[in-house]
Amino acid sequence: MSAVEHAATLPEHSVVEGDPYHLDPASVREPPTTWRGSLRFFGPGLIVSASVVGAGELITATALGAQAGFVLLWLVVFSTLVKVAVQVEMARYSIVTGEGGMEGYAKVPPRFGRVSWVFAMWALMALSKLIQTGGLIGGMAAALSILVPVGSGPLETTSLTFWAVVVTLVAIATLYSNRYGLIEKVAVFLTMTFVVVTLVIALGLPMTEYAYSGGDLASGLSFSLPAGALGIAIAMFGLTGIGSEEITAYTYWCLEKGYARWSGPNDGSEAYRRRARGWIAVMQRDAITAWFIYTISTMSFYIMGAAVLHPQDLVPEGNDMILVLSQTYSSVLGDWGRILFLIGALAALGSTIWAAIPSWARSWANALSILGVYDWRDSRRRNGWMRFFIVALPTMWLLTFLWISSPFIMILIGGVAGGIFLAAVAVAAWYLRRTEVDPELRGGRFSAIALAVSGVAILLLGVYSALSAAGLLEVG
C-alpha cells in the first residue's frame, strides 16, 4: 500500500495529526473542492479575525468614525480588503514549502549572514510592538474596570492594575498548553461573540436617538474623500484590517491547521500539484471568510463612532472611548445597553489577547531558530520555546502597560512600526512568489494583479508612515 493510499484509510480530522511543520508523505489528504466541504477545514482565518478586531478597531475605528462621520465608511472595506492579497501569498508560500513566514523573510536579499533586511525590520517592529501590545492588556483591564470596579472606581490606578494582572495571569494559564485545537475553538467563540454583539448594537442604533438612515450609509459608500480628510483616511488604512503581525502569524496557523502537511512534500508529481492547489484554495476561502468577519465588525465600530459620537463632536482617546460609549448606551438603552456593549468590548479585546500571545510566540521562537539558537525541526524544543514566549511576552506587555499606562499612545507607536514593516512584508511576498513557489502553483493573472495593487498601496503607506515618524510629512 502506498503512502497516499494509507493516508486515505485514516480517519479524517479537521486538524492535522503529527508535527505540522514536517511534510510527511504518509499524511497527505485530498482537499475538499467546494465551499461547503471546506468549512470544516477553516480556522486559521478565524484566529486572525480574533487577533485583528481588538483594541485597534474598538478604539481607533470608533475614533475615526467620530472624526469623519459616515463619509469614509467605504474606506473600511477598501483598507481591509486590499491587504488580503499579501496575506494569501505569504500563506501560499508556507503551504508549498512547509516554512513559516519568518523563514521566508530571512531569504529575501540582501542578506546579512543568517538574516535579511526584512528579518531585521521584523526585529525592530517586534521590539516596538512590545509597547503596543501592552495596550491590549490595558484595554482589557479598562473594560473590566468599568464593568466591575475594584478599589476607588472605574479606570482608577488600583482597579486598572488589579485587572491587568488578572488578565495576564489568566491568559498565560489558559494558553500554556499551546494546543492549536484549543486556540482555534476559543478564538471562534470569542469572534462570534463580538460579531453578534457589535452587529446588534450597530443595527439597533436606528431605534434610538442616535438613529442613522440608509442615506447615511449610502453616503458613506460613495467613494468620496472630503477636503482635509486625507490624514484620517491614511490613518484608517494603516490601523484597520490585517497587519504585518497577523499576516506573519497566519502562515503558522495555516501550517498548524494542516494545509501544508496534507499537501505533502513537493515530489514534482501532478498529484502533489493537485493537492497543493486544492489546499491553497481552501486557505483562500478561509482568508476571505476572515476578511468578511473582521470587516463587518470594524464597520460596526466605525458606525458607532459616526452615529453616536460625531454628532456630539466627541472624539475620546484611549480608554475614555470605552467609558464614554458605555455611558452613552446606558443613558439611551438603560443598564443592559451598557453591559451589552462592555461584553462586546471584552470579547473583542479578549480575543485579540488570546490570538496575539501564541501568534507572537511562534514568530519569536522561529526567529531564535533562524539565528541558530536551536533546531526548528526539533518539535520538543520548538514547543518549549513557544511556551517560554507564551509566559514571557504577556509578562513584558503587562510591565510596559504599568509603566506607560496609556493604551492609546502604546497602540499608536506599534501602529507606525507595523505600517512600515507591512511594506517589507509586501516586498517579501512578491519575492517569495517568484523564487519559492512553482509557476503552476502561483495562481492566475488575478492573483498577480491583486498582489501588485495590494503591494503598491502598502508601500505607499509604509513611505508615509516612515516620513510621518521622522516628522518630515504632515497631512491635514
pLDDT digits (tens, 9 = 90+) for 361-417: 999 999 999 999 999 999 999 999 999 999 999 999 898 888 775 555 555 565 666
Look up the domain containing 184 and give its range.
50-69+82-224+238-469
24-51 as b/e: b if 16+ CB within 10 A = eeebbbebbeeeeebeebbbbbbbbbbb
8 part of a folded domain: no
What pLDDT does residue 3 have? Answer: 45
Residue 16 has pLDDT above 80, yes or no: yes
- Lookup: cell for 455: 503591494
28 part of a folded domain: no
The residue among 225 and 294 whose pLDDT is bigger is 294
CB contact at 8 A, 340 and 201: yes
Phi first, then psi, for residue 112 (nearest 5°) are -130, 90
Phi first, then psi, for residue 268 (nearest 5°) are 80, 0
Residue 321 has pLDDT above 80, yes or no: no
Its pTM stands at 0.90
Beta strands per DSSP E along 30-179: 111-112, 115-116
424 part of a folded domain: yes
130 part of a folded domain: yes
The residue among 127 and 255 whose pLDDT is bigger is 255
pLDDT band at 69 (very low <50, low <70, confident <90, very high): confident
Residue 320 has pLDDT above 80, yes or no: no
DSSP 212: -
CB contact at 8 A, 388 and 80: no
Number of domains in the chain: 1
The residue among 446 and 257 whose pLDDT is bigger is 257
What pLDDT does residue 383 have? Answer: 97
pLDDT band at 429 (very low <50, low <70, confident <90, very high): very high
362 part of a folded domain: yes
User: Residue 410, CB half-sphere, CA atoms under 13 Å: how many?
Assistant: 26
Quick one: how far is CA 271 from the chain centroid? 33
CB contact at 8 A, 333 and 153: no
Does the N-terminal peptide bond of residue 31 adopt cis geometry, omega within 30 degrees of 0?
no
pLDDT per position as a tens digit, 23-44: 999 999 999 999 999 999 999 9
358 part of a folded domain: yes
Classified as helix, coil or strand, 3 is: helix
- Lookup: cell for 164: 491587568
- The CA-atom distances, in angstroms, between 361 and each of 72, 172, 368, 378 are 35, 12, 11, 16
CB contact at 8 A, 413 and 131: yes
What pLDDT does residue 102 have? Answer: 97
- Please give the Cα distance from 61 to 66 (Å, whole number): 9
CATH of the domain at 152: 1.10.4160
- Please give the Cα distance from 428 to 107 (Å, whole number): 9
DSSP 309: I
Among 428, 457, 418, CA closest to 90: 428
pLDDT band at 119 (very low <50, low <70, confident <90, very high): very high
- Please give the Cα distance from 51 to 67 (Å, whole number): 25
284 part of a folded domain: yes
Q: How many CB atoms lie within 10 A of CB 323?
A: 18
Quick one: how far is CA 429 from the chain centroid? 17
pLDDT per position as a tens digit, 161-206: 999 999 999 999 999 999 999 999 999 998 899 888 888 888 888 8
pLDDT per position as a tens digit, 149-159: 887 777 788 88
- Looking at the chain, the number of H-run helices and the number of E-run strands are 22, 2
Describe the crossing of helices 180-204 and 244-257 by its angle, rounded to 10 degrees: 130
Among 14, 60, 9, 8, CA closest to 37: 14
263 part of a folded domain: yes
